[in-house]
Amino acid sequence: MHRTTIYLDETLYERVQRLAEASGRTQAAVIREAIATYASGRRGRVPRSVGMGASTSGDLSERAEELLEGFGEDP
């Protein structure tokens, strides 16, 4: 294991402390579990919306300002 330092605001620190006491574990164990849970849910996830607006035009991103000109303005 590697040792690291994190800074927590008072509210978060107290929450970690209460969780550790309630579960009979150390604060470090609670924090490791929280990071592992967070990291496991983030692995390779891509929003379902990615690719929904596929374009046959290869220059769409280059023309974004031109294409969005006037967007959101009253006619």
Burial 16-42 (b: 16+ CB within 10 A, else e): beebbeeeeeeeeebbeeeeeeeeeee
pTM higher than the cut 0.85? no
For residue range 47-73, what is the model confidence (pLDDT) as tens digits?
A: 777 777 766 777 878 888 888 888 888
* 23 within 8 A of 30, measured Cβ to Cβ: yes
Domain boundaries, the chain: 1-42
Kindly indicate the confidence band of residue 33, based on its pLDDT and cuts at 50, 70 and 90: very high
**CATH level 3 topology of 1-42:** Arc Repressor Mutant (1.10.1220)
Residue 29 pLDDT = 96
Sign for the pseudo-dihedral over CA of 43, 48, 53, 55 = positive
